[in-house]
Amino acid sequence: MSGFHFSPRTNRASDIRWREWGDAAFDQAREENKPILLAISAVWCHWCHVMDETTYSSDDVIELINRRYVPVRVDNDQRPDINARYNQGGWPTTAILTPDGEILKGATYVPPDQMFNLLSQVGSFFSEPENRLAIARRMTELKLRRDEARPQSSDALKPDISDRVFSFLDSNFDERYGGFGSDQKFPMTGALHFLLDRWQRVRDDRSREIVVRSLHAMSGGGMYDRVHGGFYRYSTTRDFSVPHFEKMLEDLGGLLLACARSAAMFGDAELARVALEVRSYLDERLWNAKFGAYGGSQDADESYFALDAAGRAGLEQPYVDPTIYASWNAETARALVIAGPLLERFGANAAEWTARGTAVLGSLWDMLLDDGLVCRYFDGEHHIRGLLGDQAWTAWASLGAYEGTSDPKWLEHASTIVAACEPLFDAGAGSYADRLLSDRERGRMAEQTFPIDDNSLMARVLVKLAVLTGDDTKRERARLLLEANADSYRGYGMFASEYGSAALDWFTPPVDVRIVGAASDSATVALRESARRVAPTAVTIEVVDPDADAPRLRALGHSNGRAATAYLCDERSCFAKTSDASELEAVLSHRS
């Protein structure tokens, strides 16, 4: 049972004979004609702990599960691909499956008495051979319908995409309390970054207002830990007053960067302070020194986090999951590399922030790479190779590290990941699938899905790689990814923010800052660091060392002058150049 994580409080959930997701569990279910009870939980999940302490600690429920079911337990953080296909609306997810992996019944938290009744009814029904045959026929029909609904590529890529995405967010903005919607409030970091990306292009007051008011509402309300720093996962109330107390690396890196970008764009010292505090929380609470990266989460503990500093003093802090998750660490590493220079005037040491970010990325590369593809998580060894989100975030972070350090290995790493992702690309769908498929996948895991967020991020990776390498095939692939969702993105509403940011990169690309000079020369470094301190303008930064990369210099058509020189270029031509770092920063800061 050592592979499963249960509530830290007293419970009997381990008395259930849980199996890992895999062929053995499904083979057992088929051989014994038993349904599968799938429980999707998470280390940080409060109601998962409650279900362990109540439902899965009930004598009757334990006995019934062990006698009539094959119980399978899945950690959401370790297997987001399973969660994406089987989640029933939250955590915990409770799903009863056929031995072929199709859903019979689904729910979230189920109290003991209701669970016993549910399991008794389904178990009795499934035990009859004629019922199993009827279920099999029905499931075959449903699978055929899903196959027929496979998404198709479109050629309707239009320049108004970002405006439409903005309208979704604008109409869902809570004018009274900030954030989006009128019920529970989640951080929606992708939406915040899309609005900042949009502001860089059009400098509109509304994008600025939505971002700044939302970040201040979150950091000034109950969703922020004023003792240790860091944001809680979400607010159970519209006014951000009552949080769910788990803290997730998945959110913290993106929120840190959103605060840092807003601080630098709008001169907001309060959001700069929050960004610095989030960094402190990450280092003091989530840092895993053994693995050289950040743990995934800290448990929700209402009684602990409700205390002030004096009340917490001397108490054991809530459990921190030490597992290293690829995409969350990659996003955080990128946030550190980019945020350091933006926060320099607020007290950050840009060089140290960059060093920590690239060190985390280096740890991921050392621990999680397997034949070109990144694995999902590391707990002493790596697991689950080839999930698209992990590839996209690690490549995106590697490009950020290349722009921040001029070290060509990071450009090579990003290129390596993109090349290794080729087996994930489906030409018919014009998109990357979310994971590698094997011949023995069961149920919904046998179906390919093409997540819009991950494909949008891959499009951004490809656009930037095309700029930095001159490889137009990367740009063509990005076009296919964007076209694949050119019709469907409207259905996502305000959750199409990543697609909106990718569309901005496509139609209004960042300014290409090409710095020609020896990479180690102080004048070259000064130009690069000036460009990195600029927040109002979206930029791509490339250092071209004439001695180390003469072919690239010739391809760009720039001369090798006596002084390091920055060329500012768009898709059509270069429109300015300077050898003065202060002038470069001023030009980029005021460009509109």
Q: Which CATH architecture has domain 183-322?
A: Alpha/alpha barrel (1.50)
Query: Which has the closest alpha carbon to 295: 74, 5, 590?
Result: 5
Cβ distance 95 to 105 under 8 Å? yes
- Contacts of residue 133, defined as CB under 8 A and 6 or more positions apart, other chains included, come to none
- Does pLDDT of 356 surpass 80? yes
Mean pLDDT of the chain: 94
The dihedral built from the CA positions of residue 291, 293, 296 and 301, taken in this order, carries a sign that is positive
CA neighbor of 375 nearest in space, from 415, 320, 330: 330
The Cα–Cα gap between 182 and 238 comes to 6
pLDDT value for 257: 98
* Per-residue pLDDT at 156: 75
Helix (H, G, I), strand (E, B) or coil at 425: strand
DSSP annotation string for 227-244: TT--B-SEESSTTS-SEE
Torsion on CA atoms 87, 6, 300, 112, rounded to nearest 10 = 70
Residues 254-271: pLDDT tens digits? 999 999 999 999 999 999
Phi then psi for residue 106, to 5 deg, are -145, 150
Token couple for 363: 């740890």
- Weakest-pLDDT range from 34-43, 166-175, 565-574: 565-574
Do 109 and 118 meet the contact criterion of CB atoms below 8 Å apart?
A: no
3-class secondary-structure state, position 119: helix
Residue 147: the pLDDT is: 58
Say if residues 5 and 58 touch (Cβ distance below 8 Å): no
Whether the CB-CB separation of 179 and 240 falls below 8 Å is answered with: yes
Residue whose entry in the numeric block shows the structure tokens 């959110």: 251
Domain range annotation of the chain = 13-148, 183-322, 514-590
Query: By 3-state DSSP, what share of the chain in percent is helix, strand and coil, each rounded to 5?
Result: 55, 15, 30
pLDDT higher than 80, residue 134: no
Question: In terms of residues, how long is the chain?
Answer: 592
Looking at residue 561, what is its pLDDT? 80
Judge whether residue 65 has pLDDT over 90: yes
Long-range contacts of 267-272 (CB under 8 A, 24+ apart): 268/212, 269/346, 270/216, 270/219, 271/212, 271/215, 271/216, 271/219, 272/343, 272/346, 272/347
Task: Answer yes or no: is pLDDT of 413 > 50.
Answer: yes
The residues, any chain, with a CB within 8 Å of residue 520's CB and separated by 6 or more, are none
Residue 234 to residue 187: CA distance in whole angstroms = 7
* Residue 335: pLDDT over 50: yes
Q: Note the pLDDT of residue 146.
A: 55
Terminal-to-terminal C-alpha distance of the chain: 59
Q: Which one-letter amino acid corresponds to residue 265?
A: M
Instruction: Show Cβ contacts of residue 363 under 8 Å, excluding neighbours closer than 6 positions.
Output: 291, 292, 293, 324, 329
With a cut of 50, say whether residue 170 has pLDDT above it. Answer: yes
The answer to whether the beta carbons of residues 449 and 379 sit under 8 Å apart is: no
Per-residue pLDDT at 85: 95
247 vs 131, which has greater pLDDT? 247
pLDDT tens digits, one per residue of 312-332: 998 999 999 999 999 999 999
- 3-state SS class at 41: strand
Average the pLDDT over 41-54 and give the result: 95
Global pTM value:
0.95
Alpha carbons 551 and 178: distance in angstroms, whole number: 51
**pLDDT for the residue 1:** 37
Q: DSSP letter string over 246-285?
A: -EEHHHHHHHHHHHHHHHHHHT-HHHHHHHHHHHHHIIII
What number does CATH give the domain 13-148? 3.40.30.10
Cα gap 454→24, rounded to integer Å: 30
Q: Residues 34-47: what's their mean pLDDT?
A: 95
- pLDDT over 80 (residue 363): yes
Q: What is the pLDDT of residues 443-490, one digit of tens each?
A: 899 888 999 999 999 999 999 999 999 999 999 999 999 999 999 999
Distance CA 382, CA 286 (A): 19
pLDDT of residue 130: 74
Say if CB 256 and CB 248 are below 8 A apart.
no
Q: Does residue 328 sit in helix, strand or coil?
A: helix
Per the CB < 8 A criterion, the answer to whether 199 and 207 are in contact is yes
The helix or strand, by DSSP H or E, that contains position 196, with its residue range, turns out to be helix 189-202
Alpha helices (runs of H) in 442-471, residue ranges in sequence order: 452-469
